[in-house]
Structure 1
Amino acid sequence: MPQHPDPIVTIAPGRVRGFWRDGSAAFLGIPFAQAPVGDLRFAAPVPPEPWDGVRDALEYGATAHREKPGEVTLIPEPSVPGDATLNVNVFTPAPGDPGELPVIVYIHGGGYTEGSPASPWYDGAAFNRDGVVTVTLSYRLGFDGFGHIAGAPSNRGVRDWLAALEWVRENISAFGGDPGRVTIAGQSAGGGAVLTLLGMPAAQGLFSAAWAMSPALADVPPERARTLSAKLANLAGVAPTRDGFAGVPEAKLVELQRGAASSDSKDRLAGLRAVLVDGLPWGPMVDGDLIKTSTVDALRAGVGAGIPLVVGSTDDEFTMLADRVKNKLRLVPASFALGLLGVPPGTRAAYLRDNAAQRRKGTAAVLGRYATDAVFRAGVVRVAEARAQAATWVYRFEWPSPVIGWACHCLDVPFWFDCLDAGVGALAGDHPPRALAAAVHGSAVAFARDGEPGWRAWSTMPGSTRIFGGEPSRPDVTADGYASVRALV
C-alpha cells in the first residue's frame, strides 16, 4: 500500500496516528488502561477514557520499569518516565487493511520486577517483513503488580496482561491483524507469563497459540506472598493494607521490595539456595481466584490443551554467574557443592552421571548448569509432560556467545526477533550468525502463521527436541534433548 506520512487507524477509544519506517508502521504508547495511580494504583486495570481527534502514538509510553543509576542489563530495556504505564506498542505492515495477518503479542521479562517493552530488541520490524503484526505490552511490576495487599485485587500484573489481550482482541483488526490468530510469546518472566496465561481459565479465548522462551514460573504460594507483604510493610513502617501501602511512594516500595525478599544470610550459596528452593518472590500468586493452582498442575488438568505451545531454553542460562567464582570452586568437588545447595545424595549422583560432559568443565560449570536446570530446563520437561497429547514442541538454544562463553540467558532473544543489527554485540558478539537468526525467527513466523514451528512435536514423540545453534555435524532434531535434566524432574 502507498506509504503516506501519517498512518492513522480508528480503534475503540478513538483515532491514533503512527509513523512509517522501512515498509511497516509503528504505533507506540497506546493506552490499554488508565494510569494506575491515585485510587487506581492497586486496582484492577480500568479501560482508557475515549478521546476526540487524533491521538499521536509516536513515542514509547511510560514504563513501570524505573531507571537505576549504573544498572547494566543483558537486554537494553529503557525506562520511560511517567504515570500512564499501561500501554501497548503495535508494529504492522498493513495498518487499516482487513484484519487477516497473524499476530504476536510479546510479554517482556525481568523477573517480574524489571524490564521494559521499549527495548529496540522488541521492535517488530522483522516480523512485519514476514507478514506478522507484533504487539508489545507494559504491565505493573514488583510489589505494585504482584504483591499481596489486603483489600486490593490480587495479581494486578496478571490482570494487566488480560486487559492488554482484551485490547488486542477488540482493536488489532484495525492494524491489519486477525484477532482469531494471536500468539502470545515471552522470555524469562515473560515466558512464565505465557505459561501462566496458558494454564489460566480466565485467559482462554484471548489467544490461539503460545511460545515460551526460558520460562520463569513464579506460582507464589499465598502464605509466602502474605509473609513478604508483612515484611515489606514493616520495612516501610506502615500497616500491610491497601491504605497503608498507598501512603508509600512507588519509588520507596521499589527500593524496599528487594530487601523484603532477600535472605538475611551473608552466605552467597544460602541466597542461591533460597531462590532455587523458594522460587521468585514477586510474580503471579496462586490466589484461588485467577490462578487456582500451580501452572503445571493446571496444564496437567487439561487447561489450555487446545492451544499449541512451543517451549524451550538456552543451555546455560546462569553459568556465566558461576564463572565469577570459578577459581574459588576449582578445588571443590562438584558433588559437595551441589550438596551445599541442598541437592539430596541420590539426586546428586544421578545428575552428575547424566551431566558428565559439563562436569569435565569444572565445578562452576556444574553449578551454573544445575541452577539453569532447576529454574528453567527441568520446568520445560515438566510442562511438556504435563500437556501429554496436547500439541507441544520443545527446543534448546545451544549456540554459545563468543563474548560470554555460554549459551546464556537472553541470548536467544535477538535471534528470535531477527534484530541482529539492534546493538547485540555485548551479548552476541560482533558477528552473530545470521543463518541461526533465520532459523529461530523463521520457526516463530511459521508457528504464528501455521500453528507449527517446523519440527517433530514432543507430544507425538516424547523427548523430541529442536537444537538451535548446535554442532554442524549433529542433527537439528534429537530424540531426547533434555535427558540430562531427568534426575530433577
Structure 2
Amino acid sequence: MEPVCTTRQGQVSGRISVEGVASFLGVPYAKAPRFGPPEPAEPWEGIRPAVAYGPTPPKARYAPPLDALIPETFVAAGPGESYLNLNVWTPSPTSGGAGLPVMVWIHGGSFTNGSSADPTYDGTAFARDGVVLVSVNYRLGTEGFLHLAGVPDNRGLLDQIAALEWVRDNIASFGGDPGRVTVFGESAGAMGIGVLLGTERARGLFRRAILESGATHHFLRPASAALITARLAEKLGIEPTAAAFAAVPEDVLRPAQAELRAEIGARPDPALWGEAALNMMPFEPVVDEHVLPASDCGVELLVGSNREEYLLFLVPTERLRLVSEARLRGAAETYGLDPDKALALYRESRPQAMPGEIFDALTTDWFYRVPAIRLAEAVPGSHLYEFAWRSPRFDGRLGACHAVELGFVFDLVGSDAYTPMLGEGAPQALADTMHGAWVAFATTGDPGWAPYDRDSRTTMVFDEESATVDDPRPQERELWDGLR
C-alpha cells in the first residue's frame, strides 16, 4: 500500500522501498518568480503522486572532465511546474509524527550546478538508520545569486529558508521532529549554511548544522557583485537590470555564465572581479562583510574539510603538472603570505612534492581548511573533522580531493554513481564510521569525539583507520593567523 502524508498544500503519496523506507519525491515547497523572493506553493486537490524527482533548476553541465566525475541530473519542468521542490525519505510515514531527528541536505556545485535529484544524494541509508532525510532544490546562477538593483539578493538562500520553513510546518506528518533539525551541505551548500548561521530569518529553523568543505568565508561584497553583473550584461549586450536579464532565453544565459567563469580563471584580477578573482565563483552569496556567527548562536556545529581538496581541479585536468614555481609564489602572495616563508614551511612535510602539490596544500588551506577551523573556534562546542582517505582514481593522484567524502556520508560507496570518484572497492568500514557519525550528531549532538577548543584542537581524521588527532599540522595553521 502506498504511504500517504499530509502537507499544508495537500496530500502526497510515496513509495516503500525493499529496505522499508518510504520516499516522497518532487514535493513542491515554493514557487520561484523571476528574480523575486520565493512564494508559497499552490495547494492541490486530492492526493498528489510523489514517486519521481521533480524538475531541476536551470543550469549548465559541468565542464569536462568534471562532468565524468560528478553526476548531473536534469529534469525538465512541465507547464506550470516549479523546480523549487524537495524529497523526503522516512522510516516512519505517519500523520501523527514519530519525533525522529531530521536532516536537510543542501547540495553543492559552486552555486551553479547540482540538484536534489542527483543519485549521489539518495537518502535511504539515513532513513534506514532512524533519520528523516530531506533534500532540497534551490535557484542557481543568475536566477539565484546575480546582484541586481531593485530585487532581493541571495534568492537561492531565500529558497533554502523557505524549504526549512516547509520542514518546520510539515515534517511531523512524515515522522520527523521540527525541533530536531540538522541542516547539512557540502561546498556551496556548506557556504550557504555559513551565511544562514548569521541570517535572522533562519534563526530557529535548525538546531544543528554540518558544513563539509565550506564555511563562512566565501561571499561577494556588493561592489564586487556589481562588477560581475556589469560584465555579464556586457557579454549579453543588455542593460544590467532584472527586466533585461529576465528577457534573455535560458539557452543563451547558461553558456554566458560558463564563459564568465572561464574569463575569471584566465585573468584573475581583483580590479575586474573583486573577491571572485580568488575563488573563481562569480555567483555566490552577496553580503556586506565577513561575520563569524556569535558564540551563542544557538546552533551546534560539525565542520571540516578534505585533506587535498584542490586536487579535484588539478588532477583530472592535468593542471597539476603545469603549475610553475612562479604560479605557486604568486598564489602565496595573493593570499597575503610571505612566499619564501610559506612555501618553505609547506615543503618541510612534503620534501618531494612538485609545485602543483604544494599549490594544492596551500589552496586547500585557504579555501577550505582554515575557514572550517575559524568557524569551530568561533562557536564553542563545535566538532572538527578532516577527511584523509585517498581515492585510487587517476593512479592514486586524485587523493583526498573535494567531494570525495560524499559517498561515505551517504553510505553509497558501492553505488555506480560514485565509482568515477571512488573507484572500485572503497572501504565500507569507513562509510559505516562516517555515516554513523553524521547520524549520531543529528540525533544527539555528539558525533563520537571531543569538541574542538583552542587548547587541544581535537580533530577527527577519517581514513582507513579513523582516529582523533590534536592540532594536525599546527605550523601551517598558524601561518594563516591574522590573514584568513
Is 1:366 aligned with 2:365? no
CA contact (8 A) 1:183 1:448 kept: yes
After superposition, give the CA deviation of every residue in 1:260-289 in whole Å (9 maximum; x if it has no partner): 3443685799999985636522111116xx
Amino acid at match of 1:29: G
Taking the TM superposition and a 5 Å limit, the aligned residue runs for 1:161-176 are 161-176=160-175
SS in 2 for 1:263: helix
Aligned equivalents of 2:38 and 2:181: distance in 1? 21
Residue in 1 aligned with 2:367? 375
Whether 2:409 is the aligned partner of 1:416: answer yes
CA distance in 2, matches of 1:222, 1:427: 36
Deviations 1:176-226 (A, max 9, x none): 000000000001101112212122222110000000000165321100111
Matched, 1:8 2:4: yes
Q: Of 27, 36, 39, which residue of structure 2 is paired with 1:30? A: 27
Shift of 1:305: 2.7
Asked if residue 487 in structure 1 is aligned to residue 474 in structure 2, the reply is no
Question: Amino acid of the residue matched to residue 468 of structure 2?
Answer: V
Q: Secondary structure at the match of 1:172?
A: helix
Paired residue type of 1:284 = P
Deviations 1:64-83 (A, max 9, x none): 15353985153323111115
**Structure 2: distance between partners of 1:48 and 1:260:** 33
Answering whether residue 54 of structure 2 is matched by residue 61 of structure 1, we say yes
Q: Are 1:273 and 1:341, in contact at CA under 8 Å, matched by a contact in 2?
A: no
Deviates more, 1:102-111 or 1:258-267: 258-267
The 3 A distance-change label for structure 1 pair 380 and 100 is same
The offset of 1:385, in angstroms, is 2.1
Which of 375, 382, 389 pairs up with 1:399? Answer: 389
In the TM superposition, residue 236 of structure 1 has moved relative to its aligned partner by 1.7
2:118 is aligned with 1:119: yes
Would you say the 8 A contact 1:111–1:189 is kept in 2?
yes
> Aligned match of 2:329 in 314, 330, 339?
339
Q: Secondary structure at the match of 2:76?
A: coil
Could you tell me which residue of structure 2 aligns to residue 88 of structure 1? 86
State the one-letter code of the partner of 2:70: I
Deviation for aligned residue 1:113: 0.6
Structure-2 separation of matches of 1:400 and 1:265: 27
Alpha carbons 1:276, 1:375 under 8 Å: kept: no
Preserved CA contact (<8 Å) 2:391 2:421: yes
The residue matched to 2:171 in structure 1 has which SS? helix
**1:385 matched residue in structure 2:** 377
Distance 1:9 1:103, change over 3 A: same
TM-score by length of 2: 0.89
Q: 1:335-368 deviations in whole A, cap 9, x for unaligned?
A: x442222525635413531452234222111112
Aligned-partner SS, 2:349 = helix
* Aligned partner of residue 371 in structure 1, secondary structure: helix
Identify the residue that residue 192 of structure 2 maps to in structure 1. Answer: 193
For 2:148 and 2:252, locate their aligned partners in 1 and report how far apart those are by CA, in whole Å: 16
CA distance in 2, matches of 1:317, 1:442: 23
Q: Indicate conservation of the 8 Å contact 2:332/2:338, yes or no.
A: no
Q: After superposing the two structures, state which structure 1 stretch, 315-324 or 239-248, moved more.
A: 315-324
174-183 or 70-79, which moves further after superposition? 70-79
2:341 to 334, 349, 364: 349
Matched, 1:313 2:300: no
Of the candidates 404, 428, 434, which is equivalent to residue 440 of structure 1?
Answer: 434
Q: Which amino acid aligns with 1:51?
A: W
Question: TM-score w.r.t. structure 1 length?
Answer: 0.88
Q: Residues 201-220 of structure 1: matches in 2 within 5 Å?
A: 201-215=200-214, 217-220=217-220
**What's the CA shift for 1:458?**
0.6
Q: 1:264 to 1:45 in 2, by over 3 A?
A: closer
Where do 1:102-113 residues align within 5 Å?
Answer: 102-113=101-112
Q: Distance in 2 between matches of 1:419 and 1:169?
A: 28
Deviates most, 423-432 or 272-281? 272-281
CA distance in structure 1 between the partners assigned to 2:281 and 2:50 by the alignment: 35
Match status 1:477 vs 2:468: yes
Deviation at 1:149, TM superposition (A): 1.4
Q: Measured at CA, do residues 373 and 345 of structure 1 come closer, stay the same or move farther in structure 2, by a change above 3 Å?
A: closer
Counterpart selection for 1:459 from 447, 453, 460: 453
* 1:117-266 pair list within 5 angstroms: 117-215=116-214, 217-263=217-263, 266=266
Q: Tell me, which stretches of 5 or more residues in structure 1 are unaligned?
A: 288-292
What fraction of aligned residue pairs are identical, expressed as a percent? 37
Contact 2:224 2:276 survives alignment (8 Å):
no
Is the contact made by 1:321 and 1:368 (CA closer than 8 Å) also made in structure 2?
Answer: no
Shift of 1:54: 0.4
Amino acid at match of 1:428: L
Match of 1:290 in 2: none
How far 1:460 sits from its partner (Å)? 7.2
Counterpart check, 1:46 vs 2:39: yes
Instruction: Report the CA distance between 1:237 and its aligned residue.
Output: 1.9
Q: Is the alpha carbon distance of 1:359 and 1:145 closer, same or farther for their aligned partners in structure 2, counting shifts above 3 Å? A: farther
Amino acid aligned to 2:467: D
What is the number of residues matched between the two proteins?
Answer: 463
Shift of 1:327: 4.0
Structure 2: runs of 5+ lacking an equivalent: none
